Amino acid sequence: MKKLLNDPADLVAESLRGVERAHPELRIDHENRILYRADAPVSGKVGLLSGGGSGHEPAHAGFIGPGMLDAVCAGEVFTSPVPDQMAEATKNIDGGAGVLHLVWNYTGDVMNFDMAAELAAAETDTEVQAVVMNDDVAVEDSLFTAGRRGTGAAIAVEKIVGAAADQGRSLSELADLARRVNDSSRSMGMALTSCTVPAKGTPTFDLPEDEIEIGIGIHGEPGRRRVPLTSAHEIAQMLVDPILADRDFTGGEGVFVFVNGMGATPQLELYLMYNEVAALLDKAGIVPVRSLVGPYVTSLDMAGCLVSITRLDDDMLRLWDAPVATAGLRWGM
Amino acid sequence: MKKLLNDPADLVAESLRGVERAHPELRIDHENRILYRADAPVSGKVGLLSGGGSGHEPAHAGFIGPGMLDAVCAGEVFTSPVPDQMAEATKNIDGGAGVLHLVWNYTGDVMNFDMAAELAAAETDTEVQAVVMNDDVAVEDSLFTAGRRGTGAAIAVEKIVGAAADQGRSLSELADLARRVNDSSRSMGMALTSCTVPAKGTPTFDLPEDEIEIGIGIHGEPGRRRVPLTSAHEIAQMLVDPILADRDFTGGEGVFVFVNGMGATPQLELYLMYNEVAALLDKAGIVPVRSLVGPYVTSLDMAGCLVSITRLDDDMLRLWDAPVATAGLRWGM
């Protein structure tokens, strides 16, 4: 294993120290591994909390800031944070309008966010609602989930709901909106290579030099099938076809197309993939109106990509375009 | 070789098609492989041109836009663009105030930008000045350079000079500023692994599983030395010590610290490296006031990092903070 680290057991803690030094606009509780907007709680605004295992950077901490999340709980690599952590964060971002948990659908996360909501409500009367994101069409259940996994849709959900929270919308309205964006999104990913979890030190799975895995999860969970290494053109089809088969993406204000790098794939290749994906959408009469290309939801050093598509209505489109200031996404301020 | 592409010969051309689809704010001349701000030339403003081989994304095209570059010429992977391309771009971004070439110090690029300036001057009277960036302290001459290589400093130079061009500063003033930022910057990189150039299909160099290369170039050119794989703490020292030995970074308004991922290194590790680098600067009495952590000047799928430090004066600091709207760097608009 070749990685830039000291003791693998300290990787997350030391990385958080780096985040703190590089981002004075965040406040970090190292004991509880919670990252906050420095000005949280924002009075009168619904607090938005997400989080999950580490190893997906810039998700999750890269999306904290005005126009997006108020706080994030960081777990160990590919491991859910614990309920106490989440309850503490929940209480600290309640500006009086309640807190929305934006939960990526993995069994541990869902269970722990659930317990955290109960803890927070019992201790401080904080009103909490939760929306579970489950956009991955690859598998119906997986190693880590009941139901579909949450992957690329989180970027659209967190950005759009973050902007709506800034407008002063209520907790219920935001939960509805989060569900609407999640329901409007579908994703599917693929891996060229495995990732290597530092604590283990060897690749999570073996993938022969001439094979790729279609429908991979963001922790290296098995996908739909292994196929021989093929062209980007054919790979795009293997990702886009199941997405389009699962939902109607025509109409509305067009779609947001997200081609995500899994960690080790160069942008030169990701833009080539974007070209293939957009061409397939053209053929299907689907109109990309916003896009994002790059490593946003990674799986450590996995090579590969994930395609995520969200059908936008005019409300979502305006909220996507609204100002945001996070380490991972920034415009308008 | 496992990569997301069709025919390796078409990689750059097809990737540029993807950039065009994803970035309507750019205008692309596919025949000449030039990427422009859609509104270039900007009347009365000095035009800023850079470019170089592909494979370093988001450098170079990710830095086109208000507050940064007006155009970029794209070469094949790790190959300089040609003089005709650069001359065409130069003519098309001249808004009447001349054009500044920001040249990364590689022999082919320097020679070709030089010829392009002569061509453009002969054909259209466009006034051109050029500044060569050569911040890499690792080696004095290299496989691809006479003198030091240009690496991380380009981000600071292009951002700061881009903001100054927006203020309406003259060609000579901008050239002076570019030289000042370059002179204030020093960089050094390291590789955990080689990269694989698609047209070749095999790793550029062999690096055993238990060795790393200190002082690597951004095309996989040899560095200073190979050493056994060691901790991030020791690696940071091997990069920061030669940088600090080469220039005084105390005083002024503090420093800009840039920890750049070479392409395949997770952000979790890069932030850990940032923590190590910043701690070493603290010890040396050097004050980081701005930072950037992530893959900005990559070397395809190489794993590793590059540390770049720029001493800021108050003019540079204000210009760094000024609004910028590019695919790779964006804030304030």
Summarised one tens digit per residue, pLDDT across range A13-29 is 999 999 999 999 999 99
State the residue for tokens 């001249």.
Answer: B94
Rounded to whole angstroms, the Cα distance separating B330 from A29 reads: 28
Same domain for B265 and B148, yes or no, is: no
Same domain for B20 and B154, yes or no, is: yes
State the residue for tokens 């003198």.
Answer: B147
Quote the domain boundaries for residue A24: 8-184
Looking at the complex, report in whole angstroms how far the Cα of residue B203 sits from the nearest Cα belonging to chain A. 14
Looking at the complex, report in whole angstroms how far the Cα of residue B56 sits from the nearest Cα belonging to chain A. 8
B271: how many CB neighbours lie within 10 A of its CB? 28
- B89 domain residue, yes or no: yes
Rounded to whole angstroms, the Cα distance separating B229 from B207 reads: 11
Nearest by CB to residue B303, choosing from A231, A298, A301, is: A301
**The pLDDT of residue A120:** 94
Number of domains present in the structure of chain A: 2
Same domain for B146 and B228, yes or no, is: no
- B2 domain residue, yes or no: no
**The pLDDT of residue B328:** 97
**The pLDDT of residue B142:** 75
Nearest alpha carbon to residue A246 among A309, A291, A306, A181: A309
- A110 domain residue, yes or no: yes
Q: Touching check for A251 and chain B: CB below 8 Å? A: no
- A1 domain residue, yes or no: no
Question: A26 near A20, Cβ under 8 Å?
Answer: yes
Same domain for A81 and A195, yes or no, is: no
Mutate which: B272, B283, B291, vs A, most A CBs within 10 A: B272
ipTM value for the complex: 0.98
* CB atoms B300 and A6 under 8 Å: no
Nearest CA in chain A to B2: A192
**The pLDDT of residue B278:** 98
* CB atoms A301 and B192 under 8 Å: no
Residues of B in contact with A273 (CB under 8 A): 4, 18
Residue A289 pLDDT > 80, yes or no?
yes
Question: B75 near B81, Cβ under 8 Å?
Answer: yes
Nearest by CB to residue A18, choosing from B18, B275, B298, is: B275
Looking at the complex, report in whole angstroms how far the Cα of residue A70 sits from the nearest Cα belonging to chain B. 19
**Helices A107-124, A83-92: crossing angle, 10 deg rounding:** 50
Same domain for B156 and B199, yes or no, is: no
Please compute the mean of the pLDDT values over residues A42-52 and round it to a whole number.
Answer: 98
Mutate which: A35, A272, A292, A324, vs B, most B CBs within 10 A: A272
Catalytic: A56? yes
Same domain for A195 and A166, yes or no, is: no
Same domain for A12 and A159, yes or no, is: yes
Residues of A in contact with B219 (CB under 8 A): none
Nearest by CB to residue B232, choosing from A5, A58, A264, is: A5
Q: Look at residues A184, A209, A225 and tell me which one is the last residue of a structural domain.
A: A184
Looking at the complex, report in whole angstroms how far the Cα of residue A175 sits from the nearest Cα belonging to chain B. 29
- A2 domain residue, yes or no: no
Burial of A141 (0-12, 13-18, 19+ CB in 10 A): exposed
The 3-state secondary structure of chain B, one letter per residue: CCCCCCCHHHHHHHHHHHHHHHCCCEEEECCCCEEEECCCCCCCCCEEEEEEEECCCCCCHHHECCCCECEEEEEEECCCCCHHHHHHHHHHCCCCCCEEEEEECCHHHHHHHHHHHHHHHHHHCCCEEEEEECCECCCCCECCECCCCCCCHHHHHHHHHHHHHHCCCCHHHHHHHHHHHHHCEEEEEEECCCCECCCCCCECCCCCCCEEEECCCCCCCCCCEEEECCCHHHHHHHHHHHHHHHCCCCCCCCEEEEEEECECCCHHHHHHHHHHHHHHHHHCCCCEEEEEEECCCCCCCECEEEEEEEECCHHHHHHHHCCEECCCCEECC
* CB atoms B266 and A263 under 8 Å: yes
Q: Touching check for B264 and chain A: CB below 8 Å? A: yes
Q: Which of A23, A60, A101, A219 is catalytic?
A: A219
Nearest by CB to residue B22, choosing from A15, A193, A291, is: A291
Residues of A in contact with B67 (CB under 8 A): none
- What letters, b where the CB count within 10 A reaches 16 and e where it falls short, cover A10-21? ebbebbbbbbbb
Q: Touching check for A275 and chain B: CB below 8 Å? A: yes
Same domain for B40 and B66, yes or no, is: yes
How wide is the angle at C-alpha B106 spanned by C-alphas B105 and B111, nearest 5°?
95
3-state SS, residue A99: strand
Looking at the complex, report in whole angstroms how far the Cα of residue B35 sits from the nearest Cα belonging to chain A. 14
Rounded to whole angstroms, the Cα distance separating A171 from A156 reads: 18
CA distances from A18 to A34, A239, A308, B49 (A): 14, 35, 30, 34
The residue type found at A237 is Q
Residue A196 pLDDT > 90, yes or no?
yes
Same domain for B68 and B148, yes or no, is: yes
Q: Look at residues A164, A184, A204 and tell me which one is the last residue of a structural domain.
A: A184
State the residue for tokens 């960089």.
Answer: B187
- What letters, b where the CB count within 10 A reaches 16 and e where it falls short, cover A83-115? bebbbbbbbbbbbebbbbbbbbbbebbbebbbe
pLDDT means per 10 residues in chain B (333 residues)? 97 98 98 97 98 97 98 98 98 97 96 96 94 94 84 98 98 98 98 97 94 95 94 98 97 96 98 98 98 98 98 98 98 97
Q: Look at residues A155, A184, A213 and tell me which one is the last residue of a structural domain.
A: A184
Nearest CA in chain B to A282: B21
Residue A228 pLDDT > 80, yes or no?
yes
What is the pLDDT of chain A when averaged over all its residues? 97
Residues of B in contact with A235 (CB under 8 A): 4
Residue A258 pLDDT > 90, yes or no?
yes
- A88 domain residue, yes or no: yes
- B6 domain residue, yes or no: no
Residues of B in contact with A12 (CB under 8 A): 268
Catalytic: A233? no
Q: Touching check for A16 and chain B: CB below 8 Å? A: yes
**The pLDDT of residue B139:** 87
**The pLDDT of residue B45:** 98
Residues of B in contact with A230 (CB under 8 A): none
* CB atoms A18 and B272 under 8 Å: yes
**The pLDDT of residue A246:** 97
Nearest CA in chain B to A4: B232
Nearest CA in chain A to B231: A6
Sheet of B34-37, strands arranged across = B26-29, B34-37, B71-77, B47-54, B99-104, B128-133
* CB atoms A266 and B58 under 8 Å: no
**The pLDDT of residue B140:** 84
**The pLDDT of residue A206:** 92
* CB atoms A231 and B19 under 8 Å: no
Same domain for B146 and B232, yes or no, is: no
Same domain for A111 and A195, yes or no, is: no
Beta bridge partners, B256, equal: B290, B310
Nearest alpha carbon to residue B132 among B152, B150, B108, B155: B150
Question: What sign results for the dihedral spanned by CA atoms A189, A194, A198, A200?
Answer: positive
Same domain for A134 and A47, yes or no, is: yes
Residues 288-317 of chain B whose Cβ lies under 8 A from any Cβ of chain A: 288, 291, 293, 295, 298, 300-301, 303-305
Residue A317 pLDDT > 90, yes or no?
yes
Residues of B in contact with A332 (CB under 8 A): 333
Residue A145 pLDDT > 90, yes or no?
no
Band of residue A94 on the pLDDT scale cut at 50, 70, 90: very high
Residue A143 pLDDT > 90, yes or no?
no
Q: Which of B23, B60, B101, B219 is catalytic?
A: B219
- A87 domain residue, yes or no: yes
Residue A83 pLDDT > 90, yes or no?
yes
Which backbone phi and psi does B315 adopt, to 5 degrees?
A: -65, -50
**The pLDDT of residue B298:** 98
Nearest CA in chain A to B77: A268
Burial of B245 (0-12, 13-18, 19+ CB in 10 A): exposed
Residues 141-180 of chain A whose Cβ lies under 8 A from any Cβ of chain B: none
3-state SS, residue A287: coil
CA distances from A61 to A28, A155, A327, B267, B308 (A): 10, 12, 8, 11, 24
Looking at the complex, report in whole angstroms how far the Cα of residue B51 sits from the nearest Cα belonging to chain A. 15
- Residue A237, domain CATH: 3.30.1180.20
* CB atoms A22 and B291 under 8 Å: yes
Please compute the mean of the pLDDT values over residues A51-57 and round it to a whole number.
Answer: 97
- Residue A32, domain CATH: 3.40.50.10440
Nearest by CB to residue A22, choosing from B15, B271, B298, is: B271
Rounded to whole angstroms, the Cα distance separating B214 from B209 reads: 15
